[in-house]
Structure 1
Amino acid sequence: MRSVDFAPLYRATVGFDRVADLLDRVMAADTPQPGYPPYNIEKTDENAYRISIAVAGFSESELNVEVKDGALIVSASKAADDKERNFLHRGIATRAFERRFQLADHVRVNGASHVDGMLNIDLVREVPEALKPRRIEITNGAAGVIEAETVAA
């Protein structure tokens, strides 16, 4: 019962194919999302966001943050440890991981920082001028007709 047919959506809309593809991918993913590493997503301003990922045990050189095909990809791999250790309890997981975040249109990565075992990635939504609301001047009806006649001539 997890399959949904988006064909009616494709027939009735124009330009929403990316959203439909995203929904289709989410619905088709039968594998549960991994819980490692834990992360937070917060809204820091009207058009600003921050993703904070707990990366205890990783240095900046072992972390990789990249944007590819509209997705933010955060990955890490720990270098092989030269010395053999004898752990009595090992609760800090330093295994390799890759975490993906699908970015909305007009969202870009503003920067990343690694502080106190947390990787903070700042995002900003930049709406282009063409998509921002704008006020349309209403002119006198006669002026509009004259303008239309001038254009037609």
Structure 2
Amino acid sequence: MSTACSWAPLFRHSIGFDRFNDLFESAMRNEPGSSYPPYNVEKHADDQYRIVIAAAGFQDDDLELQVERGVLTVSGGKRADSAQNVTYLHHGIAQRAFKLSFRLADHIEVKSAALSNGLLNIDLERIVPEEAKAKRIPINGVGPALES
């Protein structure tokens, strides 16, 4: 009997990581109640990513994005005064407060965020500085590499 193993939880909260250990540690720290609101993490190119969060019923002022020490935190909550004069006959759209955290790899930067049609799109890009890029070292076949 074989059991199918899904690696999806490993990729949920890390963007831009190529190392398995970092993904595994991040998945192990995943909070059990962090499935609201639903979201997607998309890779559009080698250095371009997008997080799409279902934020139905929220407005720009209800949402906050913050990056601190390599962690992108997205939080949202309706203001108390926004529903004072409303009596719900059926309240099926969850507009409860939430907080999602995404650990970003080195050199991943938030480029933009936009709320459209109930979806919060956060565009990310890997910008590697020249000094951190891999350098090809030519092999010189003439003479010793070190001279005394």
Report the TM-score when normalising by structure 1. 0.72
Matches within 5 A, 1:1-153: 26-27=27-28, 29=29, 31-80=31-80, 81=82, 83-142=84-143, 145=144, 148-149=146-147, 152=148
Structure 2 segments unaligned to the other structure (5+ residues): 1-19
Deviation of the 1:74 alpha carbon: 0.3
1:84 Cα shift?
Answer: 3.7
Looking at secondary structure, tell me which structure has more helix per residue: 1
Identical-residue share of aligned pairs (%): 45
- Higher RCO (C-alpha under 8 Å, 6+ residues apart): 2
Rate the CA distance shift 1:44–1:90 in 2: closer, same or farther, 3 A: same
**Shift of residue 33 of structure 1?**
3.6
Q: Alignment RMSD, CA only?
A: 2.4
3-state DSSP of counterpart to 2:115: strand
Q: Larger Rg: 1 or 2?
A: 1
Counterpart of 2:5 in structure 1 is none
Could you tell me which runs of 5 or more consecutive residues in structure 1 were left unpaired when the two chains were aligned.
1-18
Count, aligned residues: 128
SS in 2 for 1:93: coil
